[in-house]
Amino acid sequence: MEPAIKLESLTKRYSFKILALRGISMEIEHGACVGFLGPNGAGKSTTIKILTGLIRPTDGKAYLNGKDILLNKKEALSDVGCVVETPDFYTYLTPVDTLTYLGKIRGVDDLDARIEEILKLVKLEDWADTRVGSFSKGMKQRLGIGQALLHDPRLIILDEPSSGLDPKGMAEVRDLILRLKKEGKTLFISSHMLSEIQQTADKVALINKGEILAYDTVDALGKKYFTVREVTVETADPVRDAQLHAVESMAMVRAVTVENGTRLLIRFEGECDECRYDLLRGLFDAGIKVTSFVPKGLALESVYMEMIK
C-alpha cells in the first residue's frame, strides 16, 4: 500500500533570500501519529500548505495516499482533513451554518446528524447557534478541527492545533487526538512544543531551517541522541571549593555550575539510572548534603534544544 504521506525532495523558495524548505523527504505510514516538530520559521506551515494544495513547491513531489497533490489535487485531498495555521471563519455564521456549508461542498451524507456528532466531539454543542465572531481563539481552533473531521477522513493534518489554547483547551485537543488515534486515523501534527508532541505522537520528525534533522520514534530518538544528562542539586549548606572540585573530578561529570552557593547544575554523561545513582553517591562521598536531586528536563527536550540551536 502507498504511504499516507510521501514527500520527495520538497523545496520551497519564497524569494531569493528565503529558502523555506531545502529538499525534505519523508514517508508516513497509515495509522501512524507523527509529530512535526520545529521552532518558529522551521518550515512546518510551508510543508503543510504544500501538502494541502494551498501553495506549490518550487521543486519536489508530495503524495497523499499515493496521489500526486500537484497533478491530482482533488483526488489527493479527498480523504484528508486539515487545519492550517489558525483557522478563519465567516464571523456572521454559527458553527452549524459553517459546518452545513462545508458539508454540502464536500458532499457529506446525513449532514445534520454528522454536525451534531462533530460539535459534541469538539465540545461546541452549547455554542452550535452562536455566531463565530464572538468565539475565543480556542473555540475557533476546535471548530477548525471539527470541520477537518466532518467528512470522516482517514488522514488528518493539523498545523499547531494547540496554538493559542489555554491548558484546558490543550488537554481537550490532546484527548481528541488520542481518540482519533484510537479510531485508527493517520495523524500528522505540527508543533513547536515537544511536550505536546510527546503525549500523542508515536514518531517525531524534527525540522529546523527547512531540513528534517531526524525522523524516528520518540524512544529511538531519545536513545540515539541522548548521552549528556543534567541534574539540578540543592544542598543544605553552601558547597565548598574542595567539594566542588571533587564533583568536577568525577569521571562522568562534564560541567558543574554553582548558583547561590546551594544549587548545583551538573551536566554528566551516561545512559542509565545507574549513572545517576553513581553521581548521587559521589555527591554524598564528597560530603555534600543533598536535599534535592532533580534530573533536568525530559530526555528528548535536551535533544530538541541541542538540535535547533
Ligand X SMILES: Nc1ncnc2c1ncn2[C@@H]1O[C@H](COP(=O)(O)OP(=O)(O)OP(=O)(O)O)[C@@H](O)[C@H]1O
CB of 57 to ligand X, least distance (A): 12
Q: Under DSSP, is residue 301 helix (H, G, I), strand (E, B) or coil?
A: helix
Cα–Cα distance, 179 to 156 (Å, whole number): 13
Scanning 20-28, 40-48, 144-152, 226-234 for contacts with Mg ion by CB under 5 A, the matching segment is: 40-48
- By the rule CB under 5 A, 45 interacts with Mg ion: yes
CB of 119 to Mg ion, least distance (A): 27
Nearer to ligand X, 3 or 39 (CB): 39
Q: What angle do CA 111, 173, 209 make, to 5 degrees?
A: 110
Q: What angle do CA 151, 154, 160 make, to 5 degrees?
A: 90
Nearer to ligand X, 44 or 203 (CB): 44
- By the rule CB under 6 A, 20 interacts with ligand X: yes
Q: Which residues pair with 59 in a beta bridge?
A: 11
Nearer to ligand X, 14 or 90 (CB): 14
- By the rule CB under 6 A, 192 interacts with ligand X: yes
Q: Which residue is nearest to Mg ion (CB)?
A: 45
Cα–Cα distance, 58 to 19 (Å, whole number): 10
Cα–Cα distance, 305 to 206 (Å, whole number): 11
Residue 14 touches which member of Mg ion, ligand X, none, C-beta under 5-8 Å by kind: ligand X
CB of 247 to ligand X, least distance (A): 39
**C-alpha distance from residue 214 to each of 37, 109, 208, 220 (Å):** 10, 41, 10, 10
- Segment (H or E) for 5: strand 5-13
Using CB under 6 A, which of 23, 43, 103, 144 touches ligand X? 43
Nearer to Mg ion, 43 or 222 (CB): 43
Using CB under 6 A, which of 4, 32, 33, 42 touches ligand X? 42
- By the rule CB under 5 A, 47 interacts with Mg ion: no
| HSE-CB for 233 with a 13 A CA cutoff | 29
- By the rule CB under 6 A, 35 interacts with ligand X: no
- By the rule CB under 6 A, 14 interacts with ligand X: yes
Residues 6+ apart with CB under 8 A from 206: 37, 38, 212, 213, 214, 215, 221, 304, 307, 308
CB of 41 to Mg ion, least distance (A): 8
Residue with cell 490543550: 170
Angle between helices 95-106 and 111-121 (to 10 degrees): 130
Scanning 2-10, 35-43, 59-67, 266-274 for contacts with ligand X by CB under 6 A, the matching segment is: 35-43
Using CB under 6 A, which of 11, 13, 31, 41 touches ligand X? 41
Cα–Cα distance, 148 to 64 (Å, whole number): 16
Nearer to Mg ion, 44 or 67 (CB): 44
- By the rule CB under 5 A, 141 interacts with Mg ion: no
Nearer to Mg ion, 39 or 297 (CB): 39
CB of 304 to ligand X, least distance (A): 14
Task: Answer for the pair 246, 286: CB distance below 8 angstroms, yes or no.
Answer: yes
Q: Would you tell me which residues interact with Mg ion (CB under 5 A)?
A: 44-45
Q: Would you tell me which residues interact with ligand X (CB under 6 A)?
A: 14, 18, 20, 38, 40-46, 192
